[in-house]
Amino acid sequence: MSKKETLSEGKRQILSGNTALAEAAVRAGCKFYAGYPITPQTAITEYLSERMAETGGVFVQAESEVAAINMVLGASAAGARAMTATSCQGLSLMAEGMSSLAAGRIPGVIVDVQRGGAGTGAILPSQCDYSFVTRSLGHGGLHAYVFGPSTVQEIVDVTGRAFDIADEYRTPVLILTDGVLGLMMEAVTLPEFKEDIPDREWKIEGREGLRPKMMTGDNVKPPIAQENRLRDIFVPMYEEWEQDPLYEEVETEDAELIIAAWGSVARVAKTALKELREEGYRVGMIRPISLYPFPTQAFRSLDPAKVKNIVVAEHALPPQLMFDVDHAVQGRIPLTSCTHSSGVLLSPDEIADACRKLL
């Protein structure tokens, strides 16, 4: 598919999730991309191999995901909006680098087009990296802002926000899609090219730049200075994020049962919800859009007198999203897990059946 044909300004067009994400990154001012091939992410890397040069950016095919994330670190420290994309195994290899981005307060956008399972796993879609990216970003216990979009348009929208959040908070930002969303084609409207990208006054540029000496990733400090850095910068930042998580509520007002789902599974759940509503069941859905910060309050504020059960639907086994929902409702509402994994996908009927049994 020729890039130029697909990219008419301002009008709706049909793009795959991967292509849409890549183009949205370019329009968000991404000027550096490093990537390594892995199914089902590869289309992003292929697309940007041409597109970065067309838009005055830099593309490097890295020798590994380890190198890719560290190239992003270098490019970002130099002042460029930078991104890499991979899939599960590659994200494991990036764990050390992501931790380093967070610790050095170096912005960067990391895309994980999830495939299935542990080890070599499978190449089919799953949501198996949810816990990996929401609990702690590699070693050290720091976090990234994590998006879990559910449509191709939402992929486009969160990609733009990802670059802005990365710059505003000086943090890595993750976008988790999966093989379903990456390959699926949908109508989208792309944004205009972002013009007003703020300069990073902290960027590393030699002694011509800010003085005294600048350094990223400085941990040559006494322990108390390192601890204070966590206390003064990172903890307040995460608390601020937690004030304003992104999520969607669907018909929750009168719901007796809530489906919790994110990403591609939420699309399936929406079909199930429609079916159940037509049958007269009072079912609603809460869909986290930011996976970290998690919309804890949306679940915690559910009334146990009204909501009898929460069905947590996800492509992860053992369940992962389940733990954040459990933490939110604190045992006051029973949870039911409805999952597949390893590329086996939930159908609307399966989710609907799981709900019917509880109503």
Partner 1 sequence: MELTYGKELNKALFNHDSGFCPGCMHPLINKILGEVLTENGYLENTVMVMPIGCGCNTIRYMDVDMVRGLHGRAGAVATGFKRVRPDKVVITYQGDGDAAAIGGLETFYAANRGEAFTAIMVNNQIFGMTGGQMSPCTLVGQQTTTGERLAQHMGYPVHCAEMIAQLPAVGFCGRFSVHTPKHVLQTKAAIKKAIELQMNEGKYSFIEILSACPVNWHIKPEDGPKVIEERVLPEFPLGVLRDCTKEA
Residue 73 within binding range of partner 1, rule CB under 8 A: yes
Residue 205 within binding range of partner 1, rule CB under 8 A: yes
Residue 208 within binding range of partner 1, rule CB under 8 A: yes
Residue 45 within binding range of partner 1, rule CB under 8 A: no
* Residues present in the chain in total: 359
Residue 50 within binding range of partner 1, rule CB under 8 A: no
Considering only residues 147 through 166, tell me which ones interact with partner 1, judged by CB under 8 A: none
Cis peptide before 212 (omega within 30 of 0): yes
> Pick from 7, 78, 123, 185: which binds partner 1 (CB under 8 A)?
78
Cβ atoms 292, 134 nearer than 8 A: yes
What is the phi/psi pair of residue 156, to 5°? -60, -45
3-state SS, residue 15: strand
Smallest gap from residue 300 Cβ to partner 1 (A): 38
CA–CA distance, 36 with 39 (Å, rounded to integer): 10
CA 137 to each of CA 22, 30, 38, 196, 222: distance values in angstroms, whole numbers, following the listed order: 23, 22, 21, 30, 23
CA–CA distance, 248 with 31 (Å, rounded to integer): 31
Q: For residue 288, list its beta bridge partners.
A: 247
Q: Give the x/- contact pattern for partner 1 in 246-285, rule: CB under 8 A.
A: ----------------------------------------
CB closer to partner 1, 204 vs 317: 204
Smallest gap from residue 234 Cβ to partner 1 (A): 18
Residue 100 within binding range of partner 1, rule CB under 8 A: yes
CA 274 to each of CA 184, 261, 268, 348: distance values in angstroms, whole numbers, following the listed order: 21, 15, 10, 10
Q: For residue 14, list its beta bridge partners.
A: 187
> Pick from 37, 79, 245, 343: which binds partner 1 (CB under 8 A)?
79
Residues binding partner 1: number (CB under 8 A):
41
> Pick from 104, 107, 179, 319: which binds partner 1 (CB under 8 A)?
104
Smallest gap from residue 121 Cβ to partner 1 (A): 23
CB closer to partner 1, 209 vs 318: 209
> Pick from 141, 217, 304, 334: which binds partner 1 (CB under 8 A)?
217
Residue 76 within binding range of partner 1, rule CB under 8 A: yes
For β-strands 81-86 and 335-339, DSSP reports them as: unpaired
Smallest gap from residue 166 Cβ to partner 1 (A): 15
> Pick from 24, 28, 34, 355: which binds partner 1 (CB under 8 A)?
34
Q: Give the x/- contact pattern for partner 1 in 162-201, rule: CB under 8 A.
A: ----------------------------------------
CB closer to partner 1, 20 vs 52: 52
Cβ atoms 82, 122 nearer than 8 A: no
Give me the helix-helix angle, 348-356 and 263-278, nearest 10°: 60
CA–CA distance, 315 with 298 (Å, rounded to integer): 22
